[in-house]
Amino acid sequence: MSRYNLQNPKQRVFYRGTEPGRRERIQTGAREWDSYLFVTDTPQGARWYGSSVEVVTLKPSARVLYEGTGAFPRGRGARRNESLLSWSSRVAAEAKTAGWDAVHFERQTDVGTPILNLDAIESRKPLAGDLAALGLPAYHGSPYDFEQFSLHKIGTGEGAQAYGWGLYFAGEKAVADYYKNALAKPPTVYVDGIEIRRLTIDEVFVPGKDALKTVASRISDQAKVANYLGHSTSDAMALVRKVKDDIWNGLAVNSSALQESIERKDTAEHIASNRRVVKSLEDQLRVVQDLLKREVTIRFTGGTYKVEIPELEELLGYDEPLSEQPAIVAKLRAAGKTIKNEEGDEFIWTAGKAQRPLDMATGLHLYIALTDELGSAQRASEYLLSIGIPGLRYYDAASRGDGKGSYNFVIWDDGRVEITEKLSGLRVGSWMRTPGGRR
């Protein structure tokens, strides 16, 4: 069970990360936006903003507007080519005018919930206890349903393993959503509880199995596109009606083309080809008209998983100099993987010889040196785990050029990965039932 419920309208406790000397509010250049106090849903999310975390509790009377609820549909009012910051700022300003005290943006999970009315805050106090023990929040997009991560499943996903051997996670939910969508399998369509492709001629009006197979694919494709675009797919019958409209329109166009072909006295082969297209569409239309009388359900698999992984300080910084990673260097020294020359310069020590100097080496250089010494990336990862380094962090594509920003992660200790939530709104393993359908 998840430790946090991001869609709980009764949530009153949030978290804020701070650093000594940091401004009370972020500065984006948008005057109204910068006047708000930003908090996160989890203490781990607050760590992105500072090492000191405070608990911000709202008054029981505080009104929080949650994206994804009836009062605030996902992406409401977004304009074409409008940036997320511009849209969020505009929505927050409108919410403040309407009397809301805070806005929870679904697409900004662990990035920021603006408190619009500071008078709605009941208390602010430092977070007690060991924050590191809570783990770091991260996300993973997958086409599969599962209850825990396993190193034995490496290679069944995107499979590139470009940054080393291990389980891959994203610091930003949007990155995980991208892989979830890119790798997604077509959803499965059921009719009266039976997978549509397994129906017999007697179980549904089927002029031919080809027509049934084609209609099943059309419905599945419609559901996948709707899910990808973030549109509601809670009404399976609406998708069936959309497929019916598409078939009807295609039939009208191709029937006209057949008539014109006959009138032009095209070749017998050309006319026969047009007849086959029309016949196929007529068969599909009969199938979908029969489905409108049935209970149609659609099942998606996979989704975006929210997890907790080891803290940043425990992970090898792939892009950062080792000289800026004292905790990592201490473990390398204890394992005999560094050596100093007479001048006191310290080097990576692998394969029985000194490699790159520590002050010129990054985590990438260390990982490559260990891979060369041990013969594979898997063995390099397993060795690092044996000396107390459970994974690595690297900048995502949006941050790599600047050398700062959001991380992705590779974890090679599956015992340190805990699924905290299969995120709502992605319809993970859910059934889309027709209105009034059986349960």
Residues 120 and 172 in one domain: no
- Count other Cβ atoms within 10 Å, centred on residue 202: 7
Residues 225 and 333 in one domain: no
Residues 174 and 196 in one domain: no
Residues 166 and 178 in one domain: yes
Q: Is residue 428 part of a domain?
A: no
List the single range of 172-186, 195-209, 217-231, 302-316 with lowest mean pLDDT.
195-209
Residues 238 and 288 in one domain: yes
3 — pLDDT class (breaks 50, 70, 90)? very low
Section 271-290 average pLDDT:
91
Q: Is residue 434 part of a domain?
A: no
Q: Is residue 384 part of a domain?
A: yes
| Predicted local confidence at residue 4, as pLDDT | 30
Q: Is residue 427 part of a domain?
A: no
Using the 3D structure, point to which of 300, 334, 351 is the last residue of a domain.
300
Q: How far apart, in Å, are the Cα atoms of 419 and each of 105, 108, 174?
A: 22, 19, 17
Q: Is residue 415 part of a domain?
A: yes
Give the pLDDT confidence of 146-204 residue by residue, as tens digits: 888 999 878 665 556 889 999 999 988 888 888 887 777 777 888 877 787 666 655 55
The domain of 221 spans 188-300
Computed over every residue of the chain, the mean pLDDT equals: 80
Q: Is residue 120 part of a domain?
A: yes
Q: Comparing 403 with 380, which gets the higher pLDDT?
A: 380
Cα–Cα distance measured from residue 220 to residue 430, given in angstroms and rounded to the nearest whole number: 14
Cα–Cα distance measured from residue 103 to residue 114, given in angstroms and rounded to the nearest whole number: 6
Question: Full-prediction pTM beyond 0.85?
Answer: no
Edge-to-edge strands of the sheet including 52-58? Answer: 13-18, 52-58, 121-126
Q: Token pair for residue 240?
A: 């069936």
Q: Is residue 435 part of a domain?
A: no
Q: Is residue 2 part of a domain?
A: no
Q: Comparing 164 with 221, which gets the higher pLDDT?
A: 164
Residues 127 and 140 in one domain: no
Cα–Cα distance measured from residue 279 to residue 281, given in angstroms and rounded to the nearest whole number: 5
379 — pLDDT class (breaks 50, 70, 90)? very high
Cβ neighbors of 308 (< 8 A, separation 6 or more) are 44, 134, 135, 136, 137, 138, 417, 418, 420
- Decide: 192 and 295 in contact? Cβ < 8 Å: yes
Residues 272 and 352 in one domain: no
Cα–Cα distance measured from residue 67 to residue 425, given in angstroms and rounded to the nearest whole number: 11
Residues 142 and 106 in one domain: no
369 — pLDDT class (breaks 50, 70, 90)? very high
Q: Comparing 187 with 320, which gets the higher pLDDT?
A: 320
Number of domains the chain is built from: 3
CA angle, 91 then 96 then 100, to 5°: 100
Which sign, positive or negative, has the C-alpha torsion 97, 102, 105, 106? negative
Residues 20 and 116 in one domain: yes
Give the pLDDT confidence of 384-394 residue by residue, as tens digits: 999 999 999 99
Q: Comparing 34 with 287, which gets the higher pLDDT?
A: 287
Residues 68 and 178 in one domain: no
Beta bridge partners of 409: 169, 393
Residues 310 and 173 in one domain: yes
- Flag whether pLDDT at 375 surpasses 90: yes
- Flag whether pLDDT at 427 surpasses 50: no
| Predicted local confidence at residue 166, as pLDDT | 95
Residues 342 and 200 in one domain: no
Section 415-421 average pLDDT:
87
- Flag whether pLDDT at 133 surpasses 60: no
Tell me which residue of 304, 307, 326, 306 sits closest to 317, measured CA to CA.
Answer: 326
